């Protein structure tokens, strides 16, 4: 039995790791269900493009305003907590620093003679 025919078919260097993902991957064979899925995705995208290009036909300005007013409402508890923490940080650690504090370490009152 001769092995040389098989060796010509197989790639010389197999990629490391998962051979179906990455830069040097082996592409899977396209199956009929892959084509069906691609066609379904295309039909969905065409439908979405049609809806978004004619948005004025679907939603009136009054409906849009009513929706945004209903969404605006009260804040969720996590949003209240986040805003309180942010206000505290901005008031304390990340608060404004006056210029005199920036130059405080440069201002020296002692002279060379007093250190000897």
Q: What is the mean pLDDT of residues 55-75?
A: 80
Question: How does pLDDT run across 17-62, given as a tens digit for each residue?
Answer: 788 888 878 888 999 999 999 999 999 999 988 878 876 677 788 8
Within 1-116, where are the H helices? 4-9, 32-53, 55-58, 61-72, 77-91, 99-102, 112-115
- Higher local confidence (pLDDT), 116 or 104: 104
In which band, very low, low, confident or very high, does the pLDDT at 69 lie, cut at 50, 70 and 90?
confident
Give me the residue spans of the domains in the chain. Answer: 30-61
At 24, is the secondary structure helix, strand, or coil? coil
């Amino acid at each position: 039995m001769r092995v040389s025919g098989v060796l010509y078919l197989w790639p010389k260097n197999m990629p490391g790791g998962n051979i179906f993902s990455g830069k040097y991957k082996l592409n899977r064979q396209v199956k009929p269900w892959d084509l069906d899925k691609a066609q379904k995705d295309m039909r969905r995208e065409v439908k979405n493009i049609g809806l978004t290009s004619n948005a004025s036909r679907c939603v009136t300005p009054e409906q849009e305003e009513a929706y945004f007013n209903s969404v605006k409402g009260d804040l969720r508890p996590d949003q209240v907590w986040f805003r309180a923490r942010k206000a505290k940080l901005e008031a304390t650690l990340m608060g404004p620093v006056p210029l005199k504090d920036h130059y405080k370490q440069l201002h020296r009152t002692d002279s060379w003679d007093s250190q000897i």
